[in-house]
Structures are given as structure tokens and as C-alpha cells.
Amino acid sequence: MSHVDPTKLPVLDPTDPAGLDDLLSADEKAIRGAVRQTLDAIAEPYIAEWFEQGCIPNIKELTRELGSLGVLGMHLDGYGCAGMTATEYGLACLEIEATDSGLRSLVSVQGSLAMFAIWRWGSEEQKQEWLPRMAAGEAIGCFGLTEPDVGSDPANLQTRARRDGSDWILDGRKMWISNAPYADVAVVWAHTEDGIRGFVVPTDTPGFSAPEIKHKLSLRASATGELILDGVRLPESAMLPEARGLKGPLSCLNEARFGIVWGSLGAARSSLEAARRYSIDRVQFGRPIGGFQLTQQKLADMSLEYIKGYLLALHLGRRKDQNTLRPEQVSIGKLNNVREAIEICRTARGILGGNGISLEYPVIRHMVNLESVLTYEGTVEMHTLVLGQVLTGQSAFR
């Protein structure tokens, strides 16, 4: 064994104490840097105000800027999409959510839910019509699965699509749909006589409306709406021809969850870094609060959970890039990383004391945003049951 001279070892970086950066390729670091730089210019200075107002005033322009950056459907090939790797997409999600979970939701719903549904299950005509515009951010998409009475158990959907000649007529109501109030196109899942099918619905179709859900105290920089489908008449060509049954929507959710595995770490990183810096600057009892063992315990635990979550995300990213990633493994990542990210934000909130509840700092915004992230794309309980079934062979869903 050769002797290592400690003075020759890499310098320790307090923002990356485990040296995780060494696990990334030069291309991955370059993409991460480009996303960070753009977000710092187009969103970071304004995000607290957008959150407080409960809307992004220039949403169409912002979406086009995200399109120019190449992050909309960035892991898809062709049709104007960037064709990046899953790991690169994950790194982009982390940077976007370090700014705000609402922005990452916009990107996830656009790329992993609406675009992926069309890319994976759509006709050539649907792909040509929507994907290039959606990749460029010129058209915004939403994805309607959840209903007022149907959330975790989507097999029970109440929205109906029935035939009228060669047309389809859609009736029903969707709830909690991200991007809905300003979307140009909605991917809507409905029961037909042939089981669950997906439909590509231009939002200017008569009978379709998407009123905004107000009074949210989480994901305020993201518009959430209902979808009201009141005798919406669509041509036969509106149906996603290849998606039959629940595997259609579930395949899309699996894509979006992968982005959340990474994205949630962004909110955690931002909060951890805010707390670390605060602990160095804030003096009480004559010394920086970071000098107290109780504060160091908190920071050390937050840092450990971030490191473990990052390693898990990277492992899942590498598996996805090798086409060996199973949905159950995505559940493991979503369950762990969102749960630990919200704990990191809550602990950071405490370290900031009274300042922790102010929008002057990003921490409470990330913390309340993650309440939504904990619930959407499968709640903590659903992913626990997925892992429980893997471990025991017993399904405990019913």
C-alpha cells in the first residue's frame, strides 16, 4: 500500500464535503452549470416575489426561456427534444428545484408527463403537432389523472369518454392539475368501454375549462387548476393510440418521479446551504451559532442525509441510463429523497430562528413546497406500500 501525503489530497469543500462532484462527467457538470446560470438570471431574483403573489406573471415568456435552455422534454429524443441522458435530466431538475419546486413542477409536468405521454404513446401526427412546440416552450402542457374523488387509486377514474359516431365525447372533472390554468394542451385520462385511455385535448376545445385552484399555501409559484370536461367533442385522432389501461399514465408518473428523486435534493441543498451560512454569521452568547455542538449535530445530520440521497439519485440515474431501472426503484428514491429533503428544510428552518419563517430566505418556501411534492406523484404511503410489497411479497394496498 502506498503512503498518501495528506497535503496532496483534494481540498475539502464545505458545500460538498464527500466530494460527490468527482462522480460527474465533464458534460454533466457543464449542463448543470448552464442550468444554474440561466435559473440565476431568469428566476432566482424574482422567485420569492412570485411565491408571495401566488403567480408567475410572465409565465409564457419564462416557459420559452426554459425551452431555449433545452430542459423541456430534455431526456426525450427527436421532435426538437434535447436527447440528454437521464442523469443529465436529473441534474437539471436538481438545479431548477434549488430555485423552486414550482418551477421544477412546470418542467416535470411539461416534459415527463405531457410530452412523455405523447412521445411514448402518441400517433406520429400527435407527436409532430405538439412535441416541437412543447420542447421550445411555445405550447404548455398539463396532465389530468387525479379527480376530486380519485387520487391514490386511479383505477377508479370517473371521467368518461364515449363514442359518438367516429368522435369521442369526454365528460368529467379533474382536480389538482399543475399548469392547467395556462396550458395549451391537456393529456386527459378517462374510462372508455375499452378501459382507461388517454386523450390529447387542445384547451380551446368547446366544453373544456381549467379554473385555477386558489388559496394554496404550497407551490405558490406554480398554477394548479381543475379540468372541467363538459361534453368535450374530440375527433378519433385525439386518442393516444398506444396507451391501454393504467400502464399508460403510470409510465408517465414513473418518468416524473425520477425527476423528483433529483429535484427534491435541490430544495434540500438550498436550505442546507442557507442554514450553514447563517450558522457561521449569526452570533449568540458571544459566538457563531455554528460553533455550538447542537447546531453542528443538526448540520451534520442534514449533510449526511443529503449525501445519501444524492448517491441514491445518482445510482438510479445510472441505472436509468443503462435501461435497468425498475419503477419500484424509482419509488425507493422518491420516498427517501422527498422525505429527507423536507426534514432537512424543517431543520434548516429552526437554525434560522425567527428569520426562518421569512421569505427573505428560501427555506420556508422550500419547506412548504415540499409538502406538495410529498403528496403528488404517489404519496409517502403509496411508495412505502410499493417497497413493502417488494420486501414481503404481500400487497397491502387494499
Ligand X SMILES: Cc1cc2nc3c(=O)[nH]c(=O)nc-3n(C[C@H](O)[C@H](O)[C@H](O)COP(=O)(O)OP(=O)(O)OC[C@H]3O[C@@H](n4cnc5c(N)ncnc54)[C@H](O)[C@@H]3O)c2cc1C
d(CA 48, CA 391): 42
Whether 379 contacts 385, CB under 8 Å: no
Verify binding: residue 219, ligand X, rule CB under 6 A: yes
Spatial CB neighbours of 349, under 8 Å, sequence gap ≥ 6: 271, 356, 357, 363, 364, 367
Going residue by residue from 155 to 184, which x/- string records binding to ligand X, judged by CB under 6 A?
A: ---------------------xxx------
Interface residue with ligand X, options 375, 387, 388, 389 (CB under 6 A): 375
Picking from 94, 98, 46, the residue whose alpha carbon sits closest to that of residue 270 is 98
Helices (H) and strands (E) in the chain, counts: 12, 9
Helix, strand, coil shares, percent, the chain, to 5? 55, 15, 30
**Measured from the CB atom, is 355 or 389 closer to ligand X?**
389
- Cα separations in angstroms, 373 against 219, 329, 334, 341: 9, 18, 9, 10
The amino acid at 79: Y
Verify binding: residue 109, ligand X, rule CB under 6 A: yes
Least distance (Å) between residue 170 CB and ligand X: 15
Least distance (Å) between residue 359 CB and ligand X: 19
Verify binding: residue 289, ligand X, rule CB under 6 A: no
65 flagged as catalytic: no
- Name the packing angle between helices 59-69 and 101-108 (round to 10°): 70
Instruction: Kindly state the helix (H) or strand (E) to which residue 175 belongs, with its residue range.
Output: strand 167-178
Task: Report the residue closest to ligand X, judged by CB.
Answer: 151
Interface residue with ligand X, options 120, 158, 381, 388 (CB under 6 A): 381
Least distance (Å) between residue 217 CB and ligand X: 11
Least distance (Å) between residue 81 CB and ligand X: 20
In this chain, which stretch among 123-131, 140-148, 314-322, 357-365 interacts with ligand X, using CB under 6 A? 140-148
Interface residue with ligand X, options 152, 156, 284, 297 (CB under 6 A): 152
Please identify which residue in the block is written with the cell numbers 442554514.
Answer: 275
**Measured from the CB atom, is 25 or 152 closer to ligand X?**
152
How many residues touch ligand X (CB under 6 A)? 19
Least distance (Å) between residue 33 CB and ligand X: 29
The amino acid at 95: E
The one catalytic residue in 88, 226, 340, 377 is 377
Active site residues: 377
Task: Give the binding site for ligand X (CB under 6 A).
Answer: 109, 143-146, 151-152, 176-178, 219, 224, 372, 375-376, 379, 381-382, 397
